[in-house]
Structure 1
C-alpha cells in the first residue's frame, strides 16, 4: 500500500468516526437506550442504517479495506445525515473523486425499500445499469453473505469475476459470468458516455482473462430471468430462479428477485433466512427502518 493511499484510508476512518460521534440515537430514529461510554452512534448502528456488513464497516473505520463503492458511500452519508458538502468530502477522501450530481445518482425510494423488506423469505436486490448493488434485503445477505453489497461485492460483475464468496458459490459460473459480460455490453450501448461503467469494464478486462475473451467476442445478453445452481456452505447445493423487474425512476434500475426452483431449494432458503435472522438477533442486531 502506498503512503498516499494509507493516508487516505486513515483520513476516511477519522472522518467517519467524527461524523457518527456527533449523532445521538434519537437523531436517526433509534431508541436512546442506556448510558453510553462514548458519545454518538455505535459502529453497529451505522452499519445497520447503511445496510452494510458490521464487520466490513469496522474494517473501514480501521482503514483495512480497499476503495469503497460510490453507492456504499452514499448509503453511509444517508446514515450519518451528511450535508451536501460533507457528502462531497466523503467521496473525495474515500474514492478520490466527487460524487455524481444528485440528479444523476441512482436512488432507491422508500417504497422500493419497503418492497425489498416485505419479501422476508426471498432474496432480492436492486441493481443499476453498471450492476452496482444499490440495496438488498436480509434474505439476500443470508444467501450471498453479509458482505454482499459492500466492499468487493458492491458490484455484481466485480463479485463474479474477482475472488469473492459470490463467485465461489456459483456452480454455473461460466454461463452466468458470460451472460453478465453480455449484459454489460448491452448496457454500454445505452450509456456509451458513462465514465464509471467504462472504468468498470477496463478494470475487469485487466483483472480477468475470461472477461476479456468474452468481451472481445461481442456477446450481447439481456438477462431478465433464468435458473442457476449455487452451493452455500451452510445448506449445500440449491437451484434457484431469478427474475429482473424494471423499476420506475428513470435511472435504468431493476429489482432482482431470487425464488426457489424446487421444494428442496425452498427448504434450504427457509433454513438460511431463519438462521441468519437468529444469528443477528443473538448478536443484538435489531431491524431498523431508516
Structure 2
C-alpha cells in the first residue's frame, strides 16, 4: 500500500525546489553584488537572497528546506523581487504558497527605471523588454508604433505571440507573417518546457487555440526552435518598408526576460525609423 504525502507537504517541497532553481540562475552581478573568490554555489547564496529580501538567513534556509513555517504575502513579495521573478513566475510562487499576491500587476523587476531609460536612449531604434512568454513588459516610443499602436491595446493583449496570430494590423506589418509566426510558436514551445504547470502559459495556449486556426495547425506539429535573432522586413503603415536586424539581449538566463532591439540594416530603413520616431506621440 502506497501512502500519499499530504498536499501541504507536496506544496512546500515544490516551493522549496522552485526557490532553489530561481536562486541558482541569478548571478551576483545581476543584483549588484560582488562575485568574490571561491564561489562554488551556482547563482546566489541563500544568505545573499535573504539579505536582498531583508529576511532572516535561517528563516529563508528553512523555506528552501521545505520546513513547515508561515510565510506572509509581504515576505513572498520581497523574495519575488530579490529573485527577479517575472509575472508568470511570481504568480507561480504565490500559487505554491497558497497566498494572495499583494501586487499582482506589479511591473516585472527586469523592467527597471535604468532599463527604461536605456530604451529611451536607443530611440529611434525600436526596443522592448519581453519575457519568455512573449509578454511585452515595456517599450520605447518607436517600438510602440513599429507594428501597431501598442498604447491603444489592453495590457493583457500586449503579447507578441498573440498579436502575430490574432491581430490583423500587427500581422499586416510583418512580411512573410506565416513563417515568422511559425518560428515564434516553435520558440514558445521550447520555452514552455520549463513552465508546463503554470496557469498563465496554459491560458495563453488555450486562448490561441480557440481564436486562431493557424496557431492550432502550427502547434500540433510540435516544432522546436532555439531563441535567436534574425533579419526582418517590417512594413509600417506610416513610413513604409524597413529592413531590420532583430537581436535579443538577455537580462538573465537564456529562457528568461530579454531586451529586444531592431537595428536598421540600411540607410533607408534608418531614415524611416527616424520618421516613425518623429510621428509617435511623446509619452505623458
**TM-score, length basis structure 2:** 0.58
Which of 242, 247, 251 is matched with 1:243 structurally?
247
- Quote the offset at 1:222 in angstroms: 2.1
Q: Which runs of 5+ in 2 are unaligned?
A: 1-99
Q: CA offset at residue 187 of structure 1?
A: 1.1
Are residues 1:191 and 2:204 paired? no
Instruction: Say whether the 8 Å CA contact 1:170–1:230 is kept in structure 2.
Output: yes
**1:271/1:174 Cα in 2 relative to 1: closer, same or farther (>3 Å)?**
same
Aligned to 2:108: 106
CA contact (8 A) 1:148 1:154 kept: no
Distance 1:211 1:137 in 2: 28
TM-score (normalised: structure 1): 0.57
Corresponding residue to 2:270 among 266, 269, 278 = 266
Q: Pick one of 190, 206, 211 that aligns with 1:207.
A: 211
Dislocated runs of 4+, deviation >6 Å? 100-105
Partner of 2:170: 166
C-alpha deviation, 1:218, in angstroms: 0.9
Q: Quote the residue 2:279 is aligned against.
A: 275
Task: Name the Cα RMSD after superposition.
Answer: 2.7
**Preserved CA contact (<8 Å) 2:209 2:215:** yes
Q: CA deviation at 1:275?
A: 2.4
| Corresponding residue pairs, total | 183
Aligned residue in 1 for 2:133: 130
Q: Which has the larger radius of gyration?
A: 2
The answer on whether the counterparts of 1:224 and 1:245 sit within 8 Å (CA) in structure 2 is no
Residue 227 (structure 1) aligns with: 231
Distance 2:271 2:221 in 1: 40
Output the CA distance in 1 between the equivalents of 2:157 and 2:126. 15
Q: CA deviation at 1:182?
A: 0.5
| CA distance in 1 between partners of 2:248 and 2:201 (Å) | 20
Q: Does 1:154 align with 2:145?
A: no
Which moved further from structure 2: 161-170 or 254-263? 161-170
- Pair 148,179 (structure 1): closer, same or farther in 2 beyond 3 Å: farther
